[in-house]
A and B are shown apart, each in its own frame.
Chain A
Amino acid sequence: MKNKKSLIDVSFHSPENVISDEINVENEQNITFCRECAASENISAYTPTNSEEPECLEDMADTIKENKDILSDDYSAQHQNRKEHKNGINKKSSKKTAFFNPHKDERQRFYDLFSEAPVMMGFLGGPEHVYEMVNPLHFKLIGKDDIIGKTVSEVLPEAIEQGIVNILDEVYNTGKTFSASEMLVKIDAEGNGKFVDTYLSFMFQAHRSENQEIDGILFFAVDVTEQIILRNDIEESQASLKEVQTLLHLSTWEINLVTNVSTWSDEFYAILGVTREEMKPSAEAFLTMLHPDDLEFARAIIQKSLETFELGTLKARIIRKDGEIRFFYSEWKVEWDTDGKPIRLFGILQDTTEKIRAKNEREKLVLDLLQRNRDLEQFTFIISHNLRAPIANVIGYTEYLQDTTLSTQDKNDLLDGLASSVSGLDTIIKDINSILKVKQDINDKKEIIFFSKILADVTTSIQNRMDESEVEIKSDFTQVDEIFSLKVYMHSIFYNLISNSIKYCKPDEKPCIEIKSIKEKEKIILTFKDNCLGIDLKTKGDKIFGLYKRFHTHVEGKGLGLFMVKTQIEALGGKISVESEVNKGTKFTIEFMA
């Protein structure tokens, strides 16, 4: 009497969980295959249809009886007797090994193919998508191994939410193959509730039974997570490289020396201020962007590199189409092939405009600070020498004036001295004020000034002295007569230099002053030349523009004039230099930036 007792899921762990059969065990003697997967069939040599045959049943019974552990690794033994039986060979025959080996090989190949395939494969049976057959890769993916006989929904509850089960239903119901490429699925592979992002390219294909009815789904899947991650990494690093290029204004470029094709990075275009559409990369195209003053040497350097294939550097300027000038620095080297042939010239090009501007700013700041420091030193000097001198005298006078025994005459003399010392003190304080004022004046408005007009003003203001000394002034402002400057300073410069010449003229010779302006590149050069006493520059050269420095004692002077001239010229960003010979004359040369 046949009495169905139980349904045992026999899952052959052989060599891994790959093949499953369902066996109905009705009683110990009566075991029937109700289902057998194709792989099983091939191995066991019986199809489900003929598995009802007595030999088969006998085999199965033997198998179960003979094998102490049906789940042992050596699965081949389990089917061995059946195969021998089916092929009409007595299982006790000593020749059985001759038949056994080819089968074993075939099975082995099949398993190898299935289990070592680089794609996941499996079969999901019935409308509930029950795992019936899967290869090791799939176990590995989902991180579970007791899945045979369970539905997809049971094994992977997360698949429901992600629509996988719906897709399976669709395939099962319609028979239409579904394929997806690089689809993101989240799998709880560790079984700890944490979902791991996995990218799969897969295919669900309906499987039809002999009567053409859909009985399950074949699936094939490839885990492309690593490739995707790799690709994302590459994309990310490309994006960050671009970002770095943008941030540093550092671009890359190369010339393929075989094809003679140039490539520029996005930032290269950004530095040039052109779009990819506007300019096709080439050395010539790049040269068209260069500042005309830099073009020649830049071309020579690039040409040399293309001929000698030595590494090179270039610092130059480009002019963008909106007229903006940008500084850049480029450096490159050559890649050689194994035959020692140059194949590629590649390098970087960095926009250094901000750097250069910052450097210039810094240099200007340093110069300013140095100037301020000199001013302070000058100020200390004035305090300690020039301001102290009359104060010392005042102290001296007041000390004597305290003497009650002084005669009226002495007292008056002392008071006169005191008064003159105090007025000397006042003069110095006024001088200091005018010196310090120079630093502030520079913020005043500059204007267009005509040298000829300044000269006329100055000569008018000192007409008396000019007449007295019978001075002759020859001026030539034909090259350049105007300058953008501060009128008061220009007046002071003309005034001091002219009156100095008159003051220090030779007693036996009428003073003659030649004033000339020259335009040279971006400079305006102004010269004052006289035929007067001159100064011995060998011994006094370093002091000529010093404060309260005097070189002649026969006439009144404070030693302030040339100091003021120099201070004012420097405040205007100019330079003054002097040539002189004793008893021949003096020539002052003043340079202004035009």
Chain B
Amino acid sequence: MTNLTKRFLIVDDDPVNNFLSKLELKKSLGEVDVLAFESPAVALIYIETEFEQQQAKEKITLLLDLNMPVISGWEFLDKFESFPETIKNQFDIYIVSSSIDPVDIERAKANPLVIDFVEKPLNKYFVVNRFLEESNSSYK
């Protein structure tokens, strides 16, 4: 049983949210690797360059905010869509948004790139249920 460190990427312009999300993930999952980007543009460049050649051993969870200046979460997804499958396959994308607008929720769930819509703040039960169980079942 290998104990691979689960990796997270957070794309959100709100540093407070990023701070809190990191805290939650670490608290609930223990040893995790969390990288947060306040700029979606920078995050896209990072993904494109870092994961083009190298293949992650385990899927990386991408927590994406929707309401961001300059590039919104939707625009981020559009750009991400254009990446090669080899890059896309390495990510599980969750929309993590403060939005309670049903339009956003429906739209997020309808997007094939998105696994689920998660309402902010990132909640303990969700994190534990979704990520702890998953890592346990896969890597025990």
Give A residues with C-beta under 8 Å from B. Answer: 380-381, 383-386, 388-389, 391-393, 395-397, 399-400, 417, 420-421, 548-553, 559
Instruction: Determine if B99 and A385 form an interchain contact, defined as CB atoms under 8 angstroms apart.
Output: yes
A1 to B109, CA, bound (A): 137
B36 contacts A by Cβ under 8 Å = no
Instruction: Determine if B70 and A550 form an interchain contact, defined as CB atoms under 8 angstroms apart.
Output: yes
A392 to B67, CA, bound (A): 13
B48 contacts A by Cβ under 8 Å = no
Q: Which of B16, B69, B70, B120 interacts with A417 by CB under 8 Å? A: B16
Can you name 7 A-B pairs with beta carbons within 8 Å?
Answer: A384-B104, A388-B99, A389-B120, A392-B17, A393-B14, A400-B20, A417-B16
A388 to B100, CA, bound (A): 7
A-B contact count (CB 8 A): 66
B39 contacts A by Cβ under 8 Å = yes
Q: Which of B13, B20, B100 interacts with A396 by CB under 8 Å? A: B20
Instruction: Determine if A389 and B98 form an interchain contact, defined as CB atoms under 8 angstroms apart.
Output: yes
Which chain B positions have C-beta within 8 A of A392? 17, 98, 119-121
CB-CB nearest in chain A for B17: A393
Instruction: Determine if B100 and A400 form an interchain contact, defined as CB atoms under 8 angstroms apart.
Output: no
A394 to B119, CA, bound (A): 14
B106 contacts A by Cβ under 8 Å = no
Known: A385-B101, A392-B98, A393-B16. A549 touches B23 (CB 8 A): no
Give B residues with C-beta under 8 Å from A. Answer: 13-14, 16-17, 19-20, 23-24, 27, 39, 66-67, 69-70, 98-101, 104, 119-122, 124
Which chain A positions have C-beta within 8 A of B39? 553
Instruction: Determine if B101 and A389 form an interchain contact, defined as CB atoms under 8 angstroms apart.
Output: no
Q: Which of B100, B104, B119, B121 interacts with A399 by CB under 8 Å? A: B121
Instruction: Determine if A397 and B70 form an interchain contact, defined as CB atoms under 8 angstroms apart.
Output: no
Known: A380-B101, A395-B121, A396-B122. A389 touches B70 (CB 8 A): no
A380 to B104, CA, bound (A): 12
In the complex, given contacts A383-B100, A384-B99, A389-B17, what are 4 additional A-B residue pairs having Cβ atoms less than 8 angstroms apart? A384-B104, A385-B67, A389-B14, A391-B98
A279 to B120, CA, bound (A): 79
Instruction: Determine if A393 and B121 form an interchain contact, defined as CB atoms under 8 angstroms apart.
Output: yes
CB-CB nearest in chain B for A381: B101
CB-CB nearest in chain A for B65: A389
A383 to B104, CA, bound (A): 13
Min CB distance A380 to B, Å, is: 7
Instruction: Determine if A384 and B100 form an interchain contact, defined as CB atoms under 8 angstroms apart.
Output: yes
Instruction: Determine if A417 and B98 form an interchain contact, defined as CB atoms under 8 angstroms apart.
Output: no
Which chain A positions have C-beta within 8 A of B27? 400
CB-CB nearest in chain B for A417: B16
Which chain A positions have C-beta within 8 A of B104? 384
A417 to B14, CA, bound (A): 12
Instruction: Determine if B69 and A559 form an interchain contact, defined as CB atoms under 8 angstroms apart.
Output: yes
Min CB distance B22 to A, Å, is: 11
Which chain A positions have C-beta within 8 A of B24? 396
Which chain A positions have C-beta within 8 A of B121? 392-393, 395-396, 399
Instruction: Determine if A400 and B23 form an interchain contact, defined as CB atoms under 8 angstroms apart.
Output: yes
Instruction: Determine if B69 and A388 form an interchain contact, defined as CB atoms under 8 angstroms apart.
Output: no
Min CB distance A426 to B, Å, is: 15
A420 to B70, CA, bound (A): 23
Q: Which of B23, B66, B69 interacts with A551 by CB under 8 Å? A: B69
Min CB distance A59 to B, Å, is: 119
Instruction: Determine if A417 and B101 form an interchain contact, defined as CB atoms under 8 angstroms apart.
Output: no
A551 to B101, CA, bound (A): 23
Min CB distance A409 to B, Å, is: 13
CB-CB nearest in chain B for A386: B67
A553 to B69, CA, bound (A): 8
CB-CB nearest in chain A for B120: A392
Which chain A positions have C-beta within 8 A of B122? 396
Which chain A positions have C-beta within 8 A of B66? 385
A43 to B126, CA, bound (A): 129
Which chain B positions have C-beta within 8 A of A388? 98-100, 120
Min CB distance A477 to B, Å, is: 35
Which chain B positions have C-beta within 8 A of A399? 121, 124
Which chain B positions have C-beta within 8 A of A550? 69-70
Min CB distance A1 to B, Å, is: 129
A381 to B23, CA, bound (A): 28
Q: Which of A417, A549, A559 interacts with B20 by CB under 8 Å? A: A417
A79 to B20, CA, bound (A): 138
Which chain A positions have C-beta within 8 A of B19? 417
Which chain B positions have C-beta within 8 A of A417? 16, 19-20
A552 to B14, CA, bound (A): 15
A302 to B69, CA, bound (A): 61
A420 to B121, CA, bound (A): 16
CB-CB nearest in chain A for B12: A389
Which chain A positions have C-beta within 8 A of B69? 548-551, 553, 559
CB-CB nearest in chain B for A550: B69
Instruction: Determine if A551 and B124 form an interchain contact, defined as CB atoms under 8 angstroms apart.
Output: no
A384 to B120, CA, bound (A): 12
A385 to B19, CA, bound (A): 19
Instruction: Determine if A553 and B101 form an interchain contact, defined as CB atoms under 8 angstroms apart.
Output: no
